[in-house]
Amino acid sequence: MENENQIPIRAKVIIEVVGKPKEHVEKAIKAYVGKIKEDSSFVILREDFAEPLEKGSLWSTFVELEMAVDGITELVGFCFDYMPSSVDIIKPESISLTSRSFNAILNDLQAKLHNVDMVAKNRAAEIDLLRRNLKTTIENMVVLALVNREFELQELSKLLNMGDEELKPFVDDLEKNNKVKKEGLKYTLADGKQGKN
């Protein structure tokens, strides 16, 4: 008997790309399809690219692919690797699995989910590190600016090329930690070493 996991499946999938500018979106979706074509697990039978549409400040496009894969396990793997927005199985009309085959699919699915979870946790740790480094950098820039003179928030914002609302939490944190102090509308270093202007 043929392994249920290896029964050929024909499916239509839709993959979307959003970004800007328009030219980048067009190149990105074609490059993505090129990457899929390099994967020997799938055979692309047809590709139909949509024209990019402007949505607010971004551009959106999609491609519909008709493809053949060697079984459910490969189709599930495709979904995790390439993140289509929809999948429509054309053939076969029905698929029956033994519990053993279904267990194999579930275990493969769990392995992919654990891998995705690990990647997400690593990215979260990287983002946290970047946020802390950015906070330290901005606070150091504020302190360096205040070495030579005192500034109002709007002046500091202009000097550091940041909006007042974006800079205020950093200045507030420096004030809370007694690194800067506010006298009227002006900020100065808490130790009083900066010059007056």
The model's pLDDT over 75-129, given as tens digits with 9 standing for 90+, comes to 888 888 888 999 999 988 888 888 887 888 888 888 888 888 899 999 999 999 9
Quick check: 97 and 72 in contact, CB under 8 A? yes
The predicted structure's pLDDT at residue 113: 84
The model's pLDDT over 148-178, given as tens digits with 9 standing for 90+, comes to 889 999 999 999 999 999 999 999 999 999 9
* β-pair type (58-69, 9-19): antiparallel
Which domains are seen in the chain, by residue range? 4-91 (3.30.70.1150), 126-189 (1.10.10.10)
How far lies 39's CA from each of 11, 34, 124, in Å? 16, 9, 29
Question: Where is 132: in which H helix or E strand?
Answer: helix 99-148
Task: Kindly give, in sequence order, each residue whose CB lies less than 8 Å from that of residue 104, ignoring residues fewer than 6 positions away.
Answer: 5, 73
Quick check: 156 and 171 in contact, CB under 8 A? yes
How far lies 76's CA from each of 35, 65, 107, 109, in Å? 17, 16, 11, 7
The predicted structure's pLDDT at residue 59: 92
Q: What percent of the chain has pLDDT over 90?
A: 58
Task: Kindly give, in sequence order, each residue whose CB lies less than 8 Å from that of residue 126, ignoring residues fewer than 6 positions away.
Answer: none
Q: Has residue 1 got a pLDDT over 50?
A: no
Quick check: 189 and 177 in contact, CB under 8 A? no
Query: DSSP assignment, residue 67?
Result: E
